[in-house]
Amino acid sequence: MCGFAGFLGTGSYDDIVAMTSALVHRGPDEERIYDDPKYRLFLGFRRLKILDLSGGSQPMQSWLAKHIIVFNGEIYNHHELRVELELKGYKFQTNNSDTEVILHGYAAWGDSLPSHLNGMFAFAIWDESRRRIFCARDHFGEKPLYYIDQPKLFAFASEISALHSHVNIPREFNPSNVQKFFAYGYVPAPGTVYQSIHKLPAGSTLIFDLDTNKTKVSRYWKFEIQADDNAPAARIPALADELRSLLEAAVKQRLEADVPLGVFLSGGLDSTAILAIAAKCRGSDGIDSFTIGFKEPSYDESVFARSAALAIGSRHHERIIDLANTHVETCSILNKLDEPFADPSIVPTSILAHFARATVTVALSGDGGDEMFAGYDPFAALTAAALYRHLVPSSVHPIIGSIISGLPRSQRNMSLDFRLRRTFRGLSYRAALWNPVWLGPLAPGDFVQCFERPLSTEELFEDAISAWDQSNARNDTDRSLEFYTNFYLPEMILTKSDRATMHASLESRSPFLDRDIAAFCQTLPRGYKIRHGQRKYILREALRGLVPDFVLERKKKGFGVPLTKWLSTINTPPKLPDGLSIRDSFTTARWKGLFENSEDERIFLWAYLCLAYVGGALE
């Protein structure tokens, strides 16, 4: 795991040094810089050593082909690809470097290279013979890649902070994308909250042509459900066996490391499955597991994690925190963000990453399990939502809303009143908007009050609406799976995971996002994901006998955060940068409602706070 930056055009050696230095947390073990005055090309690299500790330094150059690469991530099928490339005649200088596999793979396969890779990756290759830069990002977007394309400057980096370290790259906000941030809780790719900075979408390649000074972005892969609704019970045993084999292979591949490795453990189904398989693969060597817990009982899962670790036999480590007493840590985490996202679990995830880093350098996680197998609570709400829309007259809708709004407010994790309010606010809109509205920080109806120049609901959610309407999936469950996998997963979950772990100089790996598991899930009918009302049905069947029964039978809890309590410790609400057209009266009223417990806008206020930190209003 590493960080890189580079640019062609306007700028100096001092710029690439500054850009690379901004990524020191992503790679504390080594720094290297390459420059080519002929093309005004600069590449910088920070390395966190995981594989081939004595080799594999970057930027790595292939002298014969005149290609040079900077790469962040891991290629899990690099051994197989190395053999394939050697048979084609390519000679390797390193013993075990997946970076060199990508470099020779580009020479062999050209623009189709990413389709050969099974892993998490973002890379940029300078191709001198074709006078272009070829960039790619992995299938799900585990590893980030941002870029800016100006008339005399093309620049790219693993984080926005590195781009902002170049003297010619402005920090101007994009007001429309700021509104999208409050609609989704993130800005869908290729947008960011900044006017001139873009993010390469997951499963995409980018080519910058030096001769034409033009950039071309292409999609080489996208998660799309290609299944029918036929799910006979007779196929369940065979599918469960296949899935179990795929999971075991994915975990085994991700255990390769020349440094200590462990597992993040919540005690839920996904992380416990990863731990159980990892422990089985490691045998007598054993494995470490790591958990973060809360003193607030309704949010704490540490007892479940402890029980799972005991049943599996891992060396278990846990830390219990009181979020209200972690003000300094929380503000430090927020101050490191270079783009906002409205998931407050960035705080415990960051604390967990730093806690684990004292023991290991790599941690496996259960990220992706909910998206692959329909684990989230909204999947259970889809049928009820459709019935409500069909049966309840529109004239009755405001009356029901008023009743729900008057329910007593609770600070407990996923309390009934919180779930009802969230669910109800989505029911005012068509199915394409249910998921983003259920998850978003600000209800669509509030944008007129919040912003002086509000976007319409169609403009705010144009990305989600387009994806929903163009989907070939046959039902709302599968269309929702595509939403979570193509939007929520890369923009929220994986961004959180990358930032939290990388700021601790820790590599995170997600076996559920294996390319072969994704292919399996794309053709899996809905009736195997949700069966008899049980979500993740086929996954549970695949794990029987491997994961303890009490984990298989436990209802999903979710990684909640006692956010309201922490927000209540903020005495003076912050101000946002000028030019965003957000009405102070609206935000002041929301903070007042929080302090008086008269309304629950915790997610909006957290998003507001994140944007204030990113905008430099707070430190």
pLDDT for the residue 399: 77
User: Rounded distance, CA 84 to CA 113, Å?
Assistant: 13
What pLDDT, in 10s, does the model give residues 337-385? 999 989 999 999 999 999 999 999 999 999 999 999 999 989 988 888 8
User: Rounded distance, CA 455 to CA 196, Å?
Assistant: 20
CB-CB neighbours of 396 under 10 Å: 10
pLDDT for the residue 559: 65
Is 2 among the residues known to form the active site?
Answer: yes
Q: Tell me which of 105-114, 232-241, 284-293, 318-327 is least confident.
A: 318-327
Stretch 24-50: mean pLDDT: 96
Torsions phi, psi for 570 (to 5 deg): -85, 115
User: Which residues have CB under 8 Å from 184's CB, separation 6+?
Assistant: 436, 439, 440, 461, 464, 487, 491
Helices (H) and strands (E) in the chain, counts: 27, 19
User: Rounded distance, CA 325 to CA 319, Å?
Assistant: 14
Position 306, amino acid: R
User: What is this structure's pTM?
Assistant: 0.94
* Average pLDDT over all residues of the chain: 92
pLDDT for the residue 619: 46
User: Rounded distance, CA 156 to CA 151, Å?
Assistant: 15
pLDDT for the residue 557: 66
What pLDDT, in 10s, does the model give residues 493-524? 999 999 999 999 999 999 999 999 999 999 99
User: Rounded distance, CA 79 to CA 301, Å?
Assistant: 38
Judged by DSSP in three states, 451 sits in strand
Q: Is the pLDDT of residue 230 over 70?
A: yes
Q: Tell me which of 3-12, 225-234, 556-565 is least confident.
A: 556-565
User: Rounded distance, CA 31 to CA 24, Å?
Assistant: 8
Instruction: Quote the percentage of the chain above a pLDDT of 70.
Output: 96
User: Rounded distance, CA 411 to CA 74, Å?
Assistant: 40
User: Rounded distance, CA 174 to CA 583, Å?
Assistant: 17
**Looking at the DSSP assignment, which residues form a beta bridge with residue 544?**
547
pLDDT for the residue 618: 45
Nearest Cα to 41, choosing from 62, 63, 70?
70
User: Which residues have CB under 8 Å from 263's CB, separation 6+?
Assistant: 271, 274, 275, 278, 287, 288, 289, 290, 314, 363, 364, 365
Q: Is the pLDDT of residue 545 over 80?
A: yes
The structure tokens listed for 148 are: 């800016």
H or E segment and range at residue 179? helix 175-184
Torsions phi, psi for 376 (to 5 deg): -75, 155
Rounding to the nearest 10 degrees, give the CA dihedral for residues 280, 353, 367, 539.
Answer: 30
Position 337, amino acid: L
User: Which residues have CB under 8 Å from 233's CB, separation 6+?
Assistant: none
The structure tokens listed for 387 are: 């019935």
Judged by DSSP in three states, 135 sits in strand
pLDDT for the residue 414: 61
* Residue of 2, 135, 450, 521 marked active site: 2
The structure tokens listed for 327 are: 């003000």
| Burial grade of 217 (CB within 10 A; 0-12, 13-18, 19 or more) | middle
CA atoms within 13 A on the CB side of 140: 34
What pLDDT, in 10s, does the model give residues 439-492? 999 999 999 999 999 999 999 999 999 999 999 999 999 999 999 999 999 999
User: Rounded distance, CA 27 to CA 20, Å?
Assistant: 10
User: Rounded distance, CA 233 to CA 248, Å?
Assistant: 24
Rounding to the nearest 10 degrees, give the CA dihedral for residues 349, 351, 356, 361.
Answer: 70
193-216 b/e (C-beta count within 10 Å ≥ 16 → b): bbebbbbbbbbbbbbbebeeeebe
SS3 string of 390-415?
A: HHCCCCCHHHHHHHHHCCCCCCCCCC
Nearest Cα to 354, choosing from 390, 330, 378, 379?
330
User: Which residues have CB under 8 Å from 188's CB, separation 6+?
Assistant: 180, 463, 464, 487, 491
Q: Tell me which of 414-418, 431-435, 558-562 is least confident.
A: 414-418
pLDDT band, residue 413 (cuts 50/70/90): low
pLDDT band, residue 398 (cuts 50/70/90): confident
8 A C-beta contact, residue 213 and residue 510: no
User: Rounded distance, CA 343 to CA 363, Å?
Assistant: 21
Q: Which domains does the chain have, with CATH numbers?
A: 2-219 (3.60.20.10), 233-374+485-552 (3.40.50.620)
8 A C-beta contact, residue 163 and residue 172: no
CA 282 to chain CA mean position, Å: 27
Parallel, antiparallel, or unpaired: how do β-strands 288-294 and 315-321 relate? parallel
The structure tokens listed for 482 are: 């595509």
Q: Is the pLDDT of residue 201 over 70?
A: yes
Stretch 289-314: mean pLDDT: 92
